Structure 1
Amino acid sequence: MTLEIQNITKSFGRGQAETQVLKGIDFNVDNGEFVILKGASGSGKTTLLTILGGLLTANDGQILYNNAPLFSAQSKPAALRLTEIGFIFQSAHLVPYLKVQDQLITIGVEAGMTKKEARTKAEMLLNRIGLNHRLDVFPHMLSGGEKQRVAIMRAFMNNPKIILADEPTASLDAARATEVVEMFKKQVKDEQMIAIMITHDNRLLEYADRIIELEDGKIVQQ
């Protein structure tokens, strides 16, 4: 199965104030493939990722998954994000009144797991990323890096087919960032997901199956 991005364009504003951010983006990503988007600030990376996640609508073009529109008149982006898409933001956006494991359990239950199944999976994921000793603490007791690691594991909780990540390691030190991306890539391979990640950290580029570089709203190299 393949994610196909076809001639995606996006502009903001109107008339003389219109700014074209994406200018015909085309590429495919196969199951099990880990793609990194790179480019200078303002090149259109985050806009593209938010369109792929259904958080923003393109002006033109289409997104196909398994030869069918990923978003259609019948589908609800919010429902797709719960069942098909995992989105990791640059900020963790944890729920302040939920303990660490409950951040993940809530997603699992909403996606259709029993609470027991969700708890088992949450503990497994958090153990994998070195947070098994922080299961029962609230977000305000975590470091910035710990919060982001929880957010990364939360995105894997619903067994998504597509993982989208916007600078997920920005708040992590070099050693932890490398560890997280290694785990990220292994999870993508093992579960045959499609993964697209934005990063400015050149040390992480070696983990990508493919690097797509954007400049001024266009793909200039892949």
Structure 2
Amino acid sequence: MSLQVKDIKKSFGKGQSETPVLKGIHFEVNEGEFVILNGASGSGKTTLLTILGGLLSQSSGEILYNDKPLFDGEQKASELRLNEIGFIFQSSHLVPYLKVKAQLTTIGKEAGMSKKEADNRAETLLKQIGLEHRLNVFPHMLSGGEKQRVAIMRALMNNPKIILADEPTASLDAERATDVIEMVKDQIQSKKMIGIMITHDKRLFEYADKVIELDDGVITNA
């Protein structure tokens, strides 16, 4: 299985005000691989990741998953994000009125897990990330780093096929960031997922199977 990105282009605006952001992006990620996107601010990384997650449409080009369009109209992008794609944003975006464990179990139950299955998986993931003592607290009682760790586990809750992450360790200290990325990479390899992450932290590059450098909307190290 693989994710193929073929000649993705994206522009904003029209006519004389049209601004090209992505100018023909090509790459492929196979199952079990963890890829890092790197580049200066404005290079197109977040736009590309947002397109891969179905939150934004490309102007042209195609994204293939197992040789079929990832978003082909047969399945809504929202359903794919629930069942196939785990998205980790730079901010945690936790639901303020749900306790930590419920942040995960709600996702699991929406995707068809039984209450017992969802409870067990949520507790296992939160224990892996060192938050088993925070299961029953609300987000406002967590530190910024704790919130982000919950968000990362929430993205893994349904064993997605594709993990997309935008600077997921920005709010974590160096040791915790390394622990989190090691765990995420282990999940990607063992569950044969496809992982794509934006980060500027070069200390994390060693965990990637491939680092893709973007500059002004093009890949510079292909």
Q: Normalising TM by the smaller chain, what interval?
A: over 0.9
Match of 1:211 in 2: 211
**Residue 59 (structure 2) aligns with:** 59
1:41 maps to 41
Give the gaps of 5 or more residues in structure 2. Answer: none
* 1:1-222 to 2 correspondences below 5 Å: 1-222=1-222
- Measured in 2, the distance between the counterparts of 1:98 and 1:111 equals 18
**Alpha-carbon displacement from aligned partner over 1:154-183 (angstroms, at most 9, x marks no partner):** 000011000000000000011100110011
Could you tell me how far 1:16 is from its partner in structure 2? 1.6
Aligned-pair CA distance for 1:75: 1.9
Structure 2 counterpart of 1:140, which letter?
H
Quick one: distance in 2 between partners of 1:74 and 1:176? 40
The normalised TM-score by structure 2 is 0.99
In the TM superposition, structure 1's runs of 4+ consecutive aligned residues that sit over 3 Å from their partners are none
CA distance in 2, matches of 1:97, 1:115: 19
Helix, strand or coil at the partner of 1:74: coil
Q: Percent identity?
A: 71
Distance 1:221 1:23 in 2: 15
Structure 2: which amino acid aligns with 1:29? Answer: V
Q: Find the aligned partners of 1:162 and 1:185 in 2 and give their Cα distance.
A: 12
What is the one-letter code of the residue matched to 1:195?
Answer: G
- How many angstroms apart in 1 are the aligned matches of 2:159 and 2:185? 15
Gaps of 5+ in 1: none
**Distance in structure 2 (CA, Å) of the matches to 1:3 and 1:160:** 14
Return the offset for 1:74. 1.7
Deviations 1:68-122 (A, max 9, x none): 1100122200000000000000000000000000000000001110011000000
Partners of 1:160 and 1:43 lie apart in 2 by: 27
Cα distance in 2, alignment partners of residues 142 and 208 from structure 1: 29
Following the alignment from structure 2 to structure 1, what is the Cα–Cα distance between the partners of residues 6 and 24? 8
Superposition deviation, residue 15 in structure 1 = 1.4
The two structures have a TM-score, normalised by structure 1, of 0.99
Q: Could you give the per-residue CA deviations for residues 194-221 of structure 1, whole angstroms, max 9, x where no partner exists? A: 0000001111111100000000000001
Q: Distance in 1 between matches of 2:218 and 2:104?
A: 36
CA deviation after TM superposition for structure 1 residue 152, in Å: 0.1
Distance in 2 separating the partners of 1:56 and 1:192? 26
Q: Distance in 1 between matches of 2:189 and 2:131?
A: 22
SS at match of 2:165: strand
3-state SS in 2 of match to 1:221: coil
2:193 and 2:121 map into 1 onto residues whose CA distance is 17
